[in-house]
Chain A
Amino acid sequence: MNEFVETILALEWHKPKPAYDVVIIGGGGHGLATAYYLATRHGITNVAVLEANYIGSGNSGRNTTIIRANYGIPESIRFYQHSLELYGTLEDETGCWIMHSTKGLLWLAHTESAMRAERARCLLNQACGAETVMVTPEEARSICPQLDLSGGGRYPVLGASYHVGAATARHDRVVWAYAQGAMRKGVDVLQHTPVTGLLRDGERVVGVETPNGPISAGLVLSAVGGNVSTVAAMADVRLPIRTHPLQAFVTNAYALGFGPIISDTELFCYVSQTARGQMLMGAEFDPQPSYSLGSSYNFLQSCSAKVTHLLPFLRDLRILRQWTGICDISTDFSPIMGETGVPGFLVTTGWGTWGFKAIPAGGEQMAELIATGRTPAMLEPFRLDRFARELPMADQGSTGTR
């Protein structure tokens, strides 16, 4: 048993109360962080987080843990940069070791048009407060000595953007840090408690139904990851979301250190090394909408075939595990946070394949919205009604490989 598990065991788990001020559906990072900031920043502690399975069993415990802010539109860059900074101080704030490690991220370009895209990324990032600079192939190799600059003769590296502040953190520790912080302040975290329906009073949502009976709530927040359309439908809320699987895999440990995170638009893949030394790889989400957690051989094959062009040492490693999460992909690749048009019912969704990095800022800002009843400036661009106002926040920079 490690020091971390011991602290968890000291926590007290509760029976549901009949009513709460705020009920949060979904014990992933976003639900738990919202509860944490409600309790710590706003003194709102009569809060329950209802989790169908165990906390972190959704995408927050399945992701490749990349934290970055090198996005493609100003509103997103500012939001994710804020989140990246909150991650940097999370260990001090919560007293939990989340294994946060700043690594830097190289985004490789193999064509002139990709070079243009990376140059544009750098300019926009710098203008909006995220540190991203262009590097030459030689500089890229000094950051990552394992890189084959000829790309196996097929994908020569012409240059790269280097996002200095990019980091990783241990995903389930982040989930538990927020859960623990919230519970210590009096928030109830109820595991194995699926929400099966919503209680309505006219149009208003006034609580939730669970197999253990109804729970009334002053306000209900849906933070259920890939299952959001099902929960939103209970409130007759329509969302521009499709649920797609995203896969990842790890190899056995690579003895030498592998410093940065590598990302590649043309090869649609990204690579980093875990604290245990395993090489962790991911790609784009599967093309078919699906709620199935099935993984595929084709993904292993196509991802490996591409990534070994850049990092030939990977050929000598073995694949240990692969897994899948189901992601709430929004039409414009940006999150959807806040009011839904149905009183008493809020959402935090559209986190797709990019929402781990956003857990601190998403939770903090949603908590402020719930506590004050006003949409904070940082969330304003990400409201659901942006679609009706024809103001989508199109940003494919949010997916891991674009």
Chain B
Amino acid sequence: MPELDCPNCGLRPIEEFTFGGERPSVPDRITDPLERDVDYAWMHDNVNGATSERWFHAAGCRRWLTVRRNTSLTGMTPVE
């Protein structure tokens, strides 16, 4: 099970956290405002590689963290 190093609480199993989604990034090539809204609301990059996500430490300090990690590996590194 991957672990996340919470800056407030220390290294914890991922079960203690709630996933809040990756930071939304609507591609520039989508220019129509309505299409941009649809993309923002529904679509995900879902990259196999480096990503930046929000996680909530629900069982600990109850603070939101930004986590950078590589989705092709199990490790996770919080940055905020």
Contact = CB atoms under 8 A, between A and B. Distances in A.
Nearest to A286: B14
Interface in A211-254: 227, 229-230, 236, 238-243
A240 B74 contact: no
A299 interface: yes
B33 interface: no
B26 to A, nearest CB: 9
Contacts of B42: 240, 331, 387
Interface residues of B, number: 30
A43 interface: no
A373 interface: no
Nearest to A247: B1
B5 interface: no
A288 B46 contact: no
Interface in A273-295: 286-292, 294
A296 interface: yes
A294 B74 contact: yes
A287 B46 contact: no
Contacts of A240: 42-44
A227 B46 CA distance: 9
B14 A287 contact: yes
Given A294-B74, A296-B1, A229 B47 contact: yes
A299 B14 CA distance: 11
Contacts of B14: 286-288
Given A288-B76, A291-B72, A299 B44 contact: no
A387 B42 CA distance: 7
Interface of B: 1-2, 13-15, 17-19, 22, 27, 29-30, 35, 38-39, 41-48, 51, 53, 71-74, 76
Given A229-B45, A291-B48, 7 more contacts: A227-B48, A238-B30, A238-B39, A286-B14, A288-B2, A298-B13, A302-B15
